[in-house]
Amino acid sequence: MTTITIRMPEDVIEDLKRIAPLLGFSGYQPLARAYIGQGLRVDLERLEEDHVSELIASLRRHGVSDDVLQAALQEVIKPVANELSDS
């Protein structure tokens, strides 16, 4: 972990303090970290999907068949799905 300082509106901090225990968090800081992490993961996934879509389009332009693309995607998606189900 790295210590940072961030300025936030007081009402946001008060709201975090109020709902943190209701959501099972030990305090407002772990809840804030969770919110930041969730937002980051959503953005990373969206951006990575954009790159994957661009890559697939480029491969199609270069003559890679849909069958080959589907097979390759399945090789990548299955391990990720298995990891998620194991969590």
pTM of the model as a whole: 0.57
- pLDDT of 83: 56
* Parent domain of 48: 10-86
The verdict on residue 1 lying in a domain is: no
Cα–Cα distances (Å) from 81 to 33, 75, 78, 84, in that order, read: 25, 11, 5, 5
Which pLDDT value is given to residue 29? 95
Q: Are 6 and 22 in contact (CB under 8 A)?
A: no
Is 31:20 a contact under the CB 8 Å cutoff? yes
pLDDT digits (tens, 9 = 90+) for 24-45: 999 999 999 999 999 998 888 8
Give me the pLDDT at residue 48, please.
76
Query: For residue 42, is it within any domain?
Result: yes
Residues of the chain with pLDDT under 50: 81, 87
Spatial neighbors of 59 by CB under 8 A, at least 6 apart, are: 69
Q: How many residues does the chain have?
A: 87
For the chain, the domain total comes to 1
